[in-house]
Amino acid sequence: MKSLIEKLTGTFSPSGYEDAIRAVIRKEITKLADEVRVDALGNLIARKGKGGKKIMIAAHMDEIGLMVTHVDNNGFVRFTGIGGVYPRNLPGGRVRFVNGTAGVIGLEPADHASDVPALDKMFIDVGAADKKNCPVRIGDVAAFERPFADLGNRLVAKSMDDRIGCAVAIEALRALKSTPHEVYFVFTTQEEVGTRGAQTSAFGIDPDLGFSIDVTGWGDTPGQKDFEVGLGKGPAIKIRDGGMLSDPRIVEWMIRTAEKAKLPYQREVLLGGTTDARAMQLVRGGVPVGCVSIPCRYVHTPSEMVDYNDVKNAVKLIVALLRAPINLGA
C-alpha cells in the first residue's frame, strides 16, 4: 500500500479541483468494481455487489488549499484558504499551483516575533519580478508541497487527510471478493469546504446505512490532553465528533466485528471537526451512519503522520464489516 499512498498524497487536488486525483483513483478501481461512474459534482462512485442492504462508504478526495485573491505590482501573491488552513502552519511552507507553478509562503514584518499573523499578512513568492510576469492569476489554486516520507511504521505526507481514507477504501474494494450487499464506495469532492460531495452522492444513492473513512486527531504527543486516540493502537470507531453523533447500532456493529476478527480498535470522541458522515446522515429521510477513523498527527499541516499498521487494520475491519450479513436490530 505504501506506493499507492505516496501516489495519492503526491497528487495536487484542492477542493473543487479534484480532476487529477479522481483520474488516479479511477485507474486503480475500474477493474475492481461492478460499476464506476462520476456524478454531477465530480464524486467518483464505485458499486460492488447487487441486492441486500445498500451501503455507502465515503472517503473524500479533496485536500485543503489556497486561492489567489490579488497580485501586487511586485509580483507577490495574496491568497485566502480553501478549507481549514491555519496561519500558524504556513510560514516558510512551499506550495504548488495546479498549473505547476511553485511558491513559498512569506510574512510581512510583525511587531513581535512570537505573533501569529493572519492570512492577510502573508503572501506567496513565486519568483516573479512584477505583476506582468507573475505566472498565476486571481482565482488560481494551490496545495502544499512536501515529499512523502516513509519512517517505517509511520508515514508522513501532505493530504493524508483524506488520501489515506481513499487508500483504505481502494484496498478494501480490492480485498472484498464478494459481499451480500450493494456497496457503494464513494470518493467524494469538496469535503473540506462543507461535506458537499457526500451530501449530493448520498441523496442519489439513498443508502440504508453508511460510514465515512477519514482521519481523526491525536492525543499521544507532548502537551496533548483529553483525547485518548493514539497512533499504532488500531483504527478508531467514532462515537461523536463536532458535527455528528454516530448511530449506536453502527458503533456496536463495528465494535462487535472488530472484536470477532481480533482486530485492535479505539473508541473515538472528537470534540471538534466532522466528516462526510454528517452529510450522509441528513439526506432524504435520514441514514444511520458511523465512521472508521485513521489516527493522524498534525492534521491540516503539510506533514500529516499516520501509522501503517492502523491503515492495514482499517482495511481488514472494513472488509470484515462488508462481507457478512448485517442486522442492526430495531
Which residues are known catalytic residues? 191
Query: Is residue 93 within 8 Å of 302, Cβ to Cβ?
Result: yes
Cα distances (angstroms) measured from residue 111 to each of 114, 125, 189: 9, 22, 40
Instruction: Name 17's Cβ contacts closer than 8 Å, sequence gap at least 6.
Output: 62, 65, 98, 141
Which residues face 322 on adjacent strands?
Answer: none
Q: Specify the amino acid at residue 18.
A: E
- Joined grid coordinates for residue 128: 516573479
Give 112's contacts (C-beta < 8 A, 6+ positions apart): none
Cell triple for 199: 451530501
What is the enclosing helix (H) or strand (E) of 204?
Answer: helix 196-205
The conformation of residue 302, written as its DSSP 8-state character, comes to S
- Which 8-state DSSP code applies to residue 52? S
